[in-house]
Copies of this chain bind each other. A is one copy, B any other.
């Protein structure tokens, strides 16, 4: 089955909003075995929209129309569709009552305008919107399906999650497995996969870049579920062989989550003394719910003085080797161990740029300190903007920690 995703809204065409709907829905459709042929964004303009709907009805089996279901005069998506497929727009009594009670509860007066949100296309199946006002609609027309979905992401996304699988049933079985790979750029990951030549007619392997890590998604379509599972597992094993420990998790588990889970599981406390990353590393841990089980204190020692004052880094060390050095990284982590109750102490120091203060931009040192007989200092050189470099140092540290803990 083929699909098109049409996003409606002048704000997209002026570049005021990034169109994330097309990506979100495409992703979900792929998981259902539906192929997306076109993404289109149109303005809130009746004729242009009609035009596009007509064109797409000739090309695909399923059309998504996202946005333009609100109460204002701008919102003409329903009208455009009704005109093209020659259906009436009628008042839906259930939606009307829902709207009335919504206004009653919030003590506001309902205006004529608002009634528009209780108007639906004749013979549409309504998709109840539990996250907002305008209902979604699914319309069958000449063996095709047209979905109307509200524009706000916090309404559209849960509606897609809730309704898509029930309304789009492909004759094929679909089996999916996704591996998260860290520590390699997406293009490197993609290239290696292509060279393995694993794709077949019914199996696609797509990569999704997520800053420093890459999701590799294996999607198999066919009729025999067990055989699909076997094929997918075969490919997954090949990928594990190719990427080794760089596959840090499967499915929906992020790099940060993986580390926090590991630390929690083993009852290990962590602490950071950050220079180049300036708090970002700790914030990646504290962004995860339950971080308080694994982190209780952390330090940002940005200047030489505070490296000495807080962590006891020797002024001679800073003098002889500089702040951006193996020696300073080591003393920062060791000093942290002495003042904190953490089991693992991690320090970061480096040149984030854009203007170097003592060494080349992108050079950094991370020290992982478990104790005087168990520590590791890693030198890295990264490219990119200041923020890219800072983020790379953090993700490198988190990946290294995962690998070290897993041994």
Contacts and interface: CB of A to CB of B under 8 A. Distances in A.
Nearest to A40: B40
B14 A206 contact: yes
A359 interface: no
A284 to B, nearest CB: 8
A315 interface: no
A119 interface: no
Contacts of A328: none
Interface in A283-299: 283, 285-287, 289, 291-292, 295-299
A26 B14 contact: yes
Interface string A12-43: 11111111101111111110000111111111
B39 A41 contact: yes
A13 B42 contact: no
Interface-central residue, A17, A24, A204, by most chain B CB under 10 Å: A17
A141 interface: no
A28 B15 CA distance: 8
A282 B300 contact: yes
B296 A299 contact: no
A211 interface: no
A287 B38 contact: no
**Interface core residue of A29, A207, A302 (most chain B CB under 10 Å):** A302
Interface in A238-295: 274, 277-283, 285-287, 289, 291-292, 295
Contact of A48 (B12, B37, B292): B37
B310 A303 contact: no
A300 B298 contact: yes
A347 interface: no
A208 B278 contact: no
Given A297-B302, A298-B279, A355 B30 contact: no
Please classify how large the interface on chain A is, using the bins under 10, 10 to 19, 20 to 34, 35 or more.
Answer: 35 or more
B289 A354 contact: yes
A286 B278 contact: yes
A122 to B, nearest CB: 29
B16 A207 contact: yes
A304 to B, nearest CB: 9
Contact of A306 (B296, B353, B390): B296
Nearest to A207: B16
A14 B40 contact: no
Given A15-B28, A18-B20, A19-B23, 14 more contacts: A14-B30, A15-B24, A15-B25, A19-B19, A22-B41, A38-B52, A277-B283, A279-B279, A279-B281, A279-B286, A283-B390, A289-B353, A297-B301, A297-B310
B19 A15 contact: no
A263 B123 CA distance: 62
Nearest to A288: B386
Residue of A274, A298, A310 ringed by the most chain B CB atoms within 10 A? A298
